[in-house]
Amino acid sequence: MSKFFLSLILILPCSVSAQYSNSQRKSNTGQSLITQRYSSNPAVRVFNEKTYIYCTQDLDLGISPNKFGDHFTMRDLWVYTLNEINGKAKEIGPVLDIRQIPWGSRQLGASDITYHKGKYYLYFALKDKNDVFRIGVATADSVRGPFLPERNPISRAYSSDPCVFKDDDGTFYLYFGGTQFGQLHQWENNVYRPNAEERVGEQNALLPRMARLSADMKQLAEVVSEIKIVDTNGELMEVKNNKKIFGEATWVHKYNGQYYLSYSTGDRRLIAYAVGNSPYGPFTYRGVLLETTVGGGSRHSIVNIKGSWYLFYHDAHASGTPHLRNIFMKQISHLPNGDISLAPAGGK
């Protein structure tokens, strides 16, 4: 581990090293995969048949929860390995710190990672010097880092919760967007409008965004587009339907030729999913995958590990505080009709 990261660990607030001590118990969702600190926003990927969890570290800096999300004070990204299903994750260490990123200011958020032609590309959300969420990218030769961030954010990418998806033909796509805390309502036609108001009632709900990545994996190769999430009649859903509409945290995976777009709903209590025939959508809403994660929205991952599919997510049940979360996993199944379900009670 580098001298930089060793010094980082030593200077973190004392509450960080002890913050988990009062909650080392099982929540009603199961046993947390990481018990030495609060962790959230799991981006789980398999490289060389080994499972890696990239996540944020939740800190308690005494900021009261507010509608702007200022109580989410993440400063660094960490990586762990998971050698046993539902076992404890083994800590590798921090891979990216906010102080390394020249364009950033605060709230280093959810990330995702992929591999291409000998390099690992780590995408992350972070507020810039004007307190506007942007998407950045850092690269490394090893899955464990160290990661070197680009000097500027990705041009034309914005908001929060990046997810990178590689299709069967080798094309990479970047998905992103989060309402309220993620400032998505302030982007109209891909132009930032700081005074824009959030949509309400019978207005159409905000939609996540996406674009194909460039050949160097560091920029967008096309104009950012909205991803339509529609009901069974093919109609866009309204804001008032907040248990079904997009709120944040898109994740895309492919199964049996179908594209699955999962996300945290508008009320940030459910993980729902929709299915489509193209990475661009439209995606038709199919149902809820996970009900009521404590503490609000849940950035999650859906990953195939040795032939079985798993859902990774975070939950604040143990702490009782929305910004101090733990990471969990559940096995899921793809059904013949195209639906997804959690494994039966007693399953993994």
Two tokens, residue 249: 């945290």
Q: Does residue 304 contact residue 320 with C-beta atoms inside 8 Å?
A: no
DSSP string, 47-88: ETTEEEEEEEEP---SPPP-TT-TT----EEEEEEE-STTSP
The enclosing H or E element of 5 equals helix 3-11
Average pLDDT of the chain is 89
User: What are the residues whose beta carbons fall under 8 Å from the beta carbon of 235, sequence distance 6 or more?
Assistant: none
CATH of 32-342, one of 2.115.10.20, 3.40.50.1240, 3.40.50.300, 3.40.50.1820: 2.115.10.20
275-328, pLDDT tens digit by residue?
A: 999 999 999 999 999 986 676 668 999 999 999 999 999 988 888 887 888 999
Ranges of residues in the chain with a pLDDT under 70 are: 1-30, 292-293, 295-297, 344-348
pTM, to two decimals: 0.91
